[in-house]
Chain A
Amino acid sequence: MRTGSRILRLLLLLTSSLSIPATAEEITFLYMKQSGYDLPDIVARAQAFQRDTGIQVDPVFVEYKDRYSLIVEAASRAVSDYDLILLDLIWTADFAEHGIIEPLPADLARRVKAGVVPKIYEAFQYRDRLWAMPFHADFQLLYTNLDLLERAGFAAPPKTLEELVEQAREAKRRGIIEYPIFDSWIEQEVLVCEFTWLVGAFGGSLTDRGRITCTSPASLQALRFMTRLLSDGLVNPYSLESEENFTSEVFQSADCIYTTNWSFLIRLLAAGQQPSPVRWALSPIPVSRAVARTGAATSSVCGFEGLAVTSHSQHKAAAWRFAQYLDSPEFQGEHLEFMPVWKVVWDWPATRRGDPYMPVKQLEVSGLQYRPAHPRYSQISLVLQQWLARTLRGAVAPEVALEQAQKGINAVSRGAP
């Protein structure tokens, strides 16, 4: 398919070189299918860009799971297949370290740093350079089924993790639901995400002075919290098999009271496509009571996507130009179902009117936790996923698992360039 499109483009190139003056520039944009802005919007934006600039943009939409390999494969060629890519923040160190992507031009970097919320653009910084324009600022939030909550005797979502446990226990005790909590604890990247915000909720972080660590007390508390929820029957064991999309379905089906998930669930819930839409509430993910006492209100995990230009692109300027065009505050202001990255958009009255959850989102941004930025993050994540999953299945004790995970992470990290 890819070869076919390449040949087609080559033929078009040859044809255009024969008949059309070589003035028209064309860039290829690798985008993700299943999340973020809708594809028609992207296409429309690309066409608008072509009308305004004469630069042709060919969007290529691929699955998330294929994106990493496509980018790496394209980078091995002298001329990359893609000029502009949608970059998951966890790949930033990897691609930067391996020369796959170009850092933002200095002027553009300055403008980003000046206009974008720091908690967001900092996710794309590596070795003091900014490697992508923050485009899609996603993070996890707490979703609560108000009907079930009220039947359990509570009026508002919990403010702390302890309160969350109490409410869940009461709901279970009352027989409202067997498993009040459902989350995405499948042995995938999302498990690291969940663990990341939980560590933050207990006042810790997976990065300590530039070193990746998972043996901190907060990490142990977080993992013990997870195992306790399982052993107490408060979280559905099926969470261990579930990724975010399925978890969203569970919540939409009112088969749980609480779940944490990315912001795409807001759109789904707002759309109310279920036969009997649930009454739900969006709230910041609570932290432990001890952390709350320190003033921290929430803890979440980033799931940002940025726009990066490949190092082997022949149209880097055009690519950066389209990146700015696509990532403009105007475009984001028109699509408030996604969290804007530009501070200016946050302040627009239309934004506050158009997105009732903006305060919650803004609050959640303040509690965002980063997953470790490392060129070998993918391997590190796999190690961590493995030990977390084994712990949740009851195979190993939390402390043992974290010790073993740390060893694995250290081993992987030492091999880093």
Chain B
Amino acid sequence: MRRLRWGGLKLSGKMVLFFVGLVLCQSLVTLTILTTIISRTNLDSLTSQMSDTILGVEGYLRETFSDLRVKGDLIAGQQKTVDYADYRLRNLLARELVLYRQSLGIESLAVYIDSAGPFASTTPVAAPDSPFRDELARALGGERAIFLGRGVAGTSLFVLSPIKRADRIIGALSLSLSMDKDFVARVERIINARVVLRFEGISVYDPQLGGEVSRILETYGRRAEADASAARNPIVRAGSFIVSSLDLASLGLSGGTAYCLMDTTESFRQIGRYNAISLLATLLILSLALASGIAFYQRTFLRRFQTILQGITSISRGDFNPPFRLGWQDEFGQLAHAFDDMCLKLLTRDKELSQLSRYNTLVLDSVQSGILCADLRGEITACNRAAERLLETASQAPLGRPLDDGSIPAGIATVLRQGLHEGSYASGREITIGGKDGERILDVASSPLLSPDGERIGIIVVFQDITKEKLLEEKLALSSNLAALGEMAAGVAHQVRNPLVVMKVSSEMLRDGFTVREDPGKYRKLTHLLVEETDALNLVVSNFLDFARPRKVQPSPCPVDSVIQFALESLPLERYAGIAVKTVVEPAVGEYPMDRNLMAQALSNLVLNALQASRESGCVEVRARKAAGGLRIEVQDWGTGMSEETMRKIFNPFFTTRDSGTGLGLSIAHRIVESHGGSIEAISSPGAGSTFTIVL
């Protein structure tokens, strides 16, 4: 099975997938948000309901307590109650109390005429416990009391109302309402929640709630305690219930708490059903939207796109005739119209380009230099007629062919390759190629072929046939060399002849009857001259040999300032005390690969030449700086300067303008610099001094 790749899909496929993905994501996000919002809203709603519920419970309890107080006061104020209690009609009073209890739906009624025990009651009542006695004492003192206490079966709410005859307290009526399951059921009838009453660790609730009440209340207590920001009646979610509580102390009753439990199971189940329906509806709508979208896409986009594509394909084939001419009014119509306009313009431009191409071809073909262009792939993209002629490629036209397929000479191909792959471009490179008329020398130059934006898009090579010029140059050089050789021979002869003359004269004097005893001083002088002149000859020969000896350059990175300093140290500067030698080395120069000893020798020769050319006082300056990827060292003096004639010969061996010079210093310096692949030039004018520049 082929792996589906995004890049391999058509735009339409991508659009469909994108659309489906987008709608799915949107649907999922919407559903998620909706579900979250609904759940949150539901929770907020339930929480709000719980707030209302707890208020409802509080209100109901307040109303119940108030109702009990009213009932207590009412019964206590009944004439029969007063009379029967006052006149100790215990059984009649009990009967009345029973009637009251039956009609008012309360747990029990009792009348106390003292704190010992009930005088009459609806149900057997035990002797009052301590808390009850305290409240009873208050009631017998004329105060009404309401409190939670031990009732007939569990905890009950008691109301104690004084029984008065005129202003005399004759007893107290105790009215109790059992806080039992029936009471819980009555509370539950007015609210939409379950109620749990808790009195000192004992819970009263509907048995249907089962044993999970303790766990729910425990969870509630823990979370409510953790919620420091909780209000008076904290609302907490515990399991599937939302729970809140009401401390009965807020109603004036200590020792009891009412809890409201709202079961959220059904509510969230309902939401789950709604969500499922929403999901199904969304999927259905999505499917319909997708189907209609695809149909719409096919009808309004894909077909028109294919039409446009066919038109563009025909354009790409070079058919610039407007392909559409459609009457669509939509975006595709605008696009087709734009394409038609574009084709009209392209058609015009094509014609112009054809004319321009022909003109360019004509220009190129009219140029006598050969021009070759290659693109970055190494394919020949241009080859003018001169190139075909010079490269003799008429039978194998290189245009459109790779440069390595042998259609162009190897030397030209090398220049192209170096330019394309190494970024190394030729300038004035001479390349010898074979031809049917023999070898031919081409002067080749290359440069990058740049787009109007300056981007390198290939290489252009321009070459001329300089075979004739080279032949002429060789002849000229041969003449020049012969002249130089003649000058050198003349120099050598000059330098050899003078010692030889001295030596001949001295030797003839010694041979012609000269005795040592007669004139020992003269003898020593003559022999000394012989030795000196022999040494001078030897020096001439040594210098010549030194000049003639091939030098082997061993370059290594050398600090330029150190090399200059080394060169200066080798000079007898003390002889030129009036001349200041100044070095200026730019800090950026640093190190440069060179043969330290040879380059020091070349520099010392140039400096010595400058010292000798200087007057008794003056200045010689040695400067070093970086230049165009290389090193530039200048030695400048402000001495006598040179004429043009002198300048043409200064690098010839044994050429000197001084009587004592060997004429080899500058020649040696020239050879050392050339052996480093560099060049040395001299700029001078008579009386203004000279500047020798080494470029490495």
Interface residues of A (CB under 8 A from B): 177-179, 236-238, 241, 249-250, 253-255, 275
Contact = CB atoms under 8 A, between A and B. Distances in A.
B83 A255 contact: no
B95 interface: yes
| Most chain A CB atoms below 10 A, which of B83, B91, B95 | B91
A253 B91 CA distance: 5
Contacts of B92: 249-250, 253, 255
A253 B88 contact: no
Contacts of A275: 95
A243 B88 CA distance: 17
Given A238-B83, A241-B83, A178 B91 contact: no
Contact of A238 (B87, B91, B95): B87
- Pairs A-B, 7 closest by C-beta atoms: A238-B87, A253-B91, A178-B88, A255-B89, A253-B92, A255-B91, A254-B91
Contact of B95 (A177, A179, A253): A253
A254 B94 CA distance: 11
Interface in B90-137: 90-92, 95
Nearest to A240: B87
A31 to B, nearest CB: 31
Contacts of B90: 255
Contact of B87 (A179, A249, A253, A254): A179
Nearest to B93: A255
A179 B88 contact: yes
25 contacts: A177-B88, A178-B88, A179-B87, A236-B87, A236-B88, A236-B89, A237-B87, A238-B83, A238-B86, A238-B87, A238-B89, A241-B83, A249-B92, A250-B89, A250-B92, A253-B89, A253-B91, A253-B92, A254-B91, A255-B88, A255-B89, A255-B90, A255-B91, A255-B92, A275-B95
Contacts of B88: 177-179, 236, 255
A50 B92 CA distance: 45
Interface string B437-480: 00000000000000000000000000000000000000000000
Given A238-B89, A255-B89, A255-B90, 15 more contacts: A177-B88, A179-B87, A179-B88, A236-B87, A236-B88, A236-B89, A237-B87, A238-B87, A241-B83, A249-B92, A250-B89, A250-B92, A255-B91, A255-B92, A275-B95
Contacts of B91: 253-255
A250 B90 CA distance: 9
A236 B85 CA distance: 12
A143 B95 CA distance: 21
| Most chain B CB atoms below 10 A, which of A178, A249, A250, A255 | A255
A238 B91 CA distance: 14
A334 B477 CA distance: 185
Contacts of A253: 89, 91-92, 95
A115 to B, nearest CB: 42
Nearest to A179: B88
A233 B83 CA distance: 16
B90 to A, nearest CB: 6
Interface string B329-369: 00000000000000000000000000000000000000000
A406 to B, nearest CB: 31
Interface in B68-95: 83, 86-92, 95
Contacts of A241: 83
B117 to A, nearest CB: 13
Contacts of B87: 179, 236-238
Contacts of B89: 236, 238, 250, 253, 255
A237 B87 CA distance: 7
A61 B290 CA distance: 94
B84 to A, nearest CB: 8
A250 to B, nearest CB: 6
A253 B93 CA distance: 9
Contacts of B95: 253, 275
Contacts of A237: 87
A250 B89 CA distance: 7
Nearest to A233: B88
A262 B589 CA distance: 151
B506 to A, nearest CB: 183
